[in-house]
Chains A and B, each alone.
Chain A
Amino acid sequence: MMIPGLDLGILGPPFLAGVLVCITHIPLGRKVLDKGIIFIDLAVAQLAALGVIGASLTGAEITGLWAQLAAALSALIGSGWLHLCERWWPETQEALIGVTFVLAASASLLLLAHNPHGAEHMQDLLSGQILWVSYGQLWPIALLYAVVISLLYFGRAWGRWVFYICFALTVTASVQLVGVYLVFASLIAPALAVRKLSESKAIMTGYTVGFLGYGVGLICSAWMDLPTGPLIVWTLAIMAVIVAYGWKLIRLGTRSLCSEGNTMAVNKDQ
């Protein structure tokens, strides 16, 4: 069956965007999961979105340098604040992250209250605009992500603030590319699926979950004629479940086969 919309020219750039997002978000997501501060992603992503909205209200070109700096600054300040929360009030950290998220989300609504396209802007930043991505847009993001990945690997010894800076910069870029919901899903769903695997195995399996999630999501969105961003959130989660429990099922299956084989061998001996 020929599915209209299944065209590499159309789905290629969004898939590449997804691959770039996965490459950075899966190692970051593992760290977030280790620390047990899951909602930090939602808070920082929402703060970056707030920065974008704030910059767009001043009339700045949204893809321009100033708007991007404003968004990064907003995410960095938020990230710094959450870092302080971690140091000063570790026992109420999760609650403070939650409050930060709600404040950022409400501030976006307040800023957009008098904007006739407010609801559209809000939805764009939540569910993303992955379909409109062009190859030209991906170069600067690939460059930024390369810097972030090397900082993550080589800057480990410099302390925890490296993680918070990497996190803020990555999320600022990806929130505008794929939206708040997909940022959260890309960080957490694959990381959750590979939680119990060793580091090197976990990263590769996590990438498989991510790439499959984005690929299947894009194809299904063309096939079912549904919005791409929210659908990928679902395929990412489904892939994560399949990979997390698929392994177990395969292992259980082979084990029962082996034990059956053993009993048969024993029976033969008798």
Chain B
Amino acid sequence: MVHHNNWSYLTQWLGLSAVASLESKPGIPPSTADLSLILQRLREHPVKMVIHAAYQDDKPDQWLAEHAQVKTVTLPFTVGGSETATDLFSLFDDTVSRLLKGIE
């Protein structure tokens, strides 16, 4: 489950599958109709986590975490997106370790 469709390279690299996106129209916050469709889809296809980038508003993710009982994982997305992601190598390290924490 992703907040916005900006994780294509990551999901392909790690063999993850993005079941749904919180934004049915990219860049526009989900509406009540979207949310109910997402909840329905998550009931049929349970997911491990909701991924969103550090720069995005995490309110919809917190909402989904509460309603669908899933974890939210904040990823740095780019160098400087988190305290530890200071260069390209630490960006990948930090991203993978956050994802692993999300699976636990």
Contacts and interface: CB of A to CB of B under 8 A. Distances in A.
Given A120-B57, A221-B31, A225-B31, A4 B36 contact: yes
Contact of A131 (B32, B57, B66): B32
Interface residues of A, number: 24
B45 interface: no
Nearest to A124: B57
B33 A134 contact: no
Dominant secondary structure at the B interface: helix
B63 A9 contact: no
Interface of B: 31-37, 39, 55, 57, 59-60, 62-63, 66-67
A90 interface: no
A138 interface: no
A134 B61 CA distance: 12
Contacts of B37: 4-5
A170 interface: no
Given A9-B67, A116-B55, 15 more contacts: A3-B33, A4-B33, A4-B36, A5-B37, A7-B32, A7-B39, A117-B55, A131-B32, A131-B35, A134-B66, A221-B31, A222-B33, A222-B36, A225-B32, A225-B33
Nearest to A131: B32
Interface of A: 3-7, 9-11, 116-117, 120, 124, 129, 131-132, 134, 136, 218, 221-222, 225-228
A131 B36 CA distance: 12
B74 to A, nearest CB: 14
19 contacts: A3-B33, A4-B33, A5-B31, A5-B32, A6-B36, A7-B36, A9-B39, A10-B32, A116-B55, A117-B57, A120-B57, A132-B59, A132-B62, A221-B31, A222-B31, A222-B32, A225-B31, A225-B33, A228-B32
A221 B62 contact: no
A133 B59 CA distance: 9
Contacts of B62: 132, 134
